[in-house]
């Protein structure tokens, strides 16, 4: 993040306009330091509700609260000045009614300054997405594997296989028609994701949805090798920071125990009192 915010931040309309020109690069970010390092390379920083599992040790995303999303959203805004920041609406903050969704989305926008929210659901969220967009809140949709519905989906399985393909296409068409500026496709067969991407006027952002999507997203801790509780097939590790960090911690512990740390160069001395 530069001290003088010279460049204008990307807006949902800019992301929408990338369709057919350049792939949309999305990573999650939950903190200021990670936002600082990801902002120059990414188009969108997603404050995902995956932060509940990755940062807070929750067993699923269902326990994530509005307060958690706003706190981490504020941290990511402070660490970025170029990428569009999109904040996940947490479980039970939008499903009840369009009015409930607007109240909570407006609070997220007002308290963080982020440019858009994301919510899970297709055909059944059509009315809610249209309600938010009509009232000034840009929405990124999320269909396919929607982790907040893990209990009704029966696990983190591939979605849209066989006869379910038509239903997923209907979800995609519904969120686009409702006014979403982009849609995440999670754990969808690559062929179907390509078909959806060609059919929609808005960019599709894939995670486990193949290379034919208009953009890609990964959880940053997964691709850096920092989160190792599970490794889905769709994750590629671009670094092994978890291993590097564990080795550094072990070296520190050994040096403290051996009285090799701190060395004189890490210590202070008073020449008057030796
Ligand atoms: N760190 C992280 N990365 C994610 O991609 C992610 C989250 N957390 N939390 C929210 C959701 C949940 N997601 C998931 C969770 C599990 C699988 C999955 O493929 N699970 C495998 C087991 C993988 C393993 O344990 O190695 C499965 O068969 O269910 C996929 C996406 C995607 N999202
Ligand atoms: C993986 C992305 C799409 C997400 O929803 C999250 O990080 O919560
Ligand atoms: Mg999410």
- C-alpha 222 – ligand 1 centre gap (Å): 10
Q: Find how far residue 11's CA is from the centre of its chain.
A: 16
What are 186's strand-pairing partners?
A: 144, 207
Regarding pTM above 0.80, the answer is yes
User: Distance between CA 7 and CA 43 in Å, rounded?
Assistant: 13
Question: Which pLDDT belongs to residue 230?
Answer: 87
Structure confidence at residue 2 (pLDDT):
53
Which pLDDT score, from 0 to 100, does residue 1 have?
Answer: 59
Structure-block tokens of residue 35: 């936002």
In the reported structure, the alpha carbon of residue 223 is separated from the centroid of ligand 3 by a whole-number distance in angstroms of 16
Residues of the chain with pLDDT under 70: 1-6
Rounded Cα gap, residues 40 and 76, in angstroms: 13
The strand ranges marked E within 17-89 are 24-28, 44-47, 84-88
3-state secondary structure of 162: coil
Residue 207 alpha carbon, nearest atom of ligand 1: 5
Q: What is the pLDDT of residue 107?
A: 98
Whether residue 186 lies in the annotated active site: yes
Tokens representing 248 are: 């550094």
Ligand 1 centroid – CA 54 distance (Å): 11
Name the residue with the closest Cα to ligand 1, atom 27: 156
Q: 88: annotated binding-site residue?
A: yes
Residue 93 CA to residue 126 CA, distance in Å, equals 16
Rounded distance between C-alpha atoms, residue 93 and residue 73, angstroms: 16
What residue owns the CA closest to ligand 1's atom 33? Answer: 50
Instruction: Please name the residue whose Cα sits nearest to atom 2 of ligand 2.
Output: 48
Residues with Cβ–ion distance below 5 A, ligand 3: 48-49, 88
pLDDT for position 274: 78
User: Residues lining ligand 1, judged by CB closer than 6 Å?
Assistant: 50, 53-54, 61, 147, 155-156, 219, 221-222, 227, 230-232
d(CA 120, CA 124): 10
Catalytic residue among 111, 186, 240, 247: 186
| pLDDT for 265 | 98
In this structure, are residues 72 and 56 in contact, taking their beta carbons and an 8 Å threshold? no
């Amino acid at each position: 993040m530069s001290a003088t915010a010279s460049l204008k931040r990307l807006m949902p309309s800019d992301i929408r306009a990338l369709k057919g020109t350049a792939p949309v690069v999305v990573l999650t970010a939950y903190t200021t330091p990670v936002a600082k390092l990801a902002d120059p390379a990414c188009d969108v920083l997603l404050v995902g509700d995956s932060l509940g599992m990755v940062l807070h040790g929750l067993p699923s995303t269902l326990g994530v609260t509005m307060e958690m999303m706003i706190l981490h959203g504020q941290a990511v805004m402070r660490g970025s000045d170029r990428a569009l920041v999109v904040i996940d609406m947490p479980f039970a903050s939008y499903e009840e009614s369009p009015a409930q969704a607007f109240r909570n989305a407006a609070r997220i926008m007002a308290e963080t300054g982020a440019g858009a929210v994301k919510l899970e659901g297709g055909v059944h969220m059509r009315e809610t997405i249209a309600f938010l967009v009509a009232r000034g809140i840009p929405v990124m949709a999320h269909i396919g594997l929607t982790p907040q519905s893990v209990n009704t989906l029966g696990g983190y399985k591939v979605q849209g296989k066989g006869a379910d393909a038509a239903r997923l296409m209907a979800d995609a068409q519904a969120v686009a028609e409702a006014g979403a500026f982009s849609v995440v496709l999670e754990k969808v067969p690559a062929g179907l994701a390509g078909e959806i991407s060609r059919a929609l006027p808005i960019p599709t952002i894939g995670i486990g949805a193949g290379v034919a999507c208009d953009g890609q997203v990964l959880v940053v801790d997964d691709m850096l090798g920092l989160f190792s509780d599970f490794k889905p097939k769709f994750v590629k590790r671009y670094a092994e920071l978890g291993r590097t960090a564990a080795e550094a911690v072990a070296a520190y512990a050994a040096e403290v125990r051996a009285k090799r740390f701190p060395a004189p160069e890490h210590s202070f001395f008073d020449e008057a009192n030796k």
